[in-house]
Amino acid sequence: MDSDKIRLEIATPYRQVLDVEVDEVIAPGEEGQFGVLPGHTPFLSTITVGELIYRQGNQLRYVAVAHGYAEVEYHRVTVLLDAAELPEEIDVDRAEAARRRAEGRLAELSQEDHDFYDALAALDRAMNRLHVVRTRTPNYKG
């Protein structure tokens, strides 16, 4: 393997989303965003809802991610996530519906309910998907 590249693997319980060679990875860690360049020291972090960015040459690419883990080795980054989608895979209507549903539930629930946080998390995920698809799809019209 080329020694100044990183192999980025992203997997969810349902499928392997990505397995590519990249130059740089920027991931949304729970304690803040972190960047990984080739030769990074081994590192294990939780990942939170957000946007994972990877760079191939001058090309930046984006992945919408949900909760999970990232394992960083010198030339490898493995990301295990509950869900991950490339911008072109995101179903805008579904995300929009999920957002409305979550908002509806939040309006009914009080902060003491356990479900409140589930709904909040759902809203978070839906908003993230929408954000990624809107900002990262070239010529997005919607």
Question: Is the CB of 33 or the CB of 135 nearer to another protein?
Answer: 33
Helix, coil or strand: residue 43: strand
Q: How far is the CB of 75 from another protein (least distance, A)?
A: 13
> DSSP E strands: which ranges in the chain?
6-11, 16-22, 24-29, 32-36, 43-47, 50-56, 59-65, 68-73, 76-81, 84-85
Q: How far is the CB of 14 from another protein (least distance, A)?
A: 6
Which residue number, 28 or 136, has a Cβ lying nearer to another protein?
Answer: 28
Which member of 29, 103, 116, 120 binds another protein (CB under 8 A)? 29
How many angstroms separate the Cα of 45 from the Cα of each of 32, 61, 73, 77, 118? 10, 21, 12, 11, 22
Query: Which of 2, 4, 16, 117 is the binder for another protein (CB under 8 A)?
Result: 16
Does the footprint of another protein cover residue 46 (CB under 8 A)?
yes
Residue 71: how many other CB atoms lie within 10 Å? 14
Q: Among 21, 43, 104, 115, which residue sits at the site for another protein (rule: CB under 8 A)?
A: 43
Q: Which of 5, 7, 11, 106 binds another protein (CB under 8 A)?
A: 11
Q: Which position among 5, 26, 80, 121 is part of the footprint of another protein (CB under 8 A)?
A: 80
Neighbours of 130 (CB within 10 A): 18
Does 33 help bind another protein (rule: CB under 8 A)?
Answer: no
Is there a contact between 133 and 90 (Cβ–Cβ < 8 Å)? yes
Applying CB under 8 A, the residues found at the interface with another protein are 9, 11-16, 29-31, 34, 41-46, 69, 71, 73, 78, 80, 82
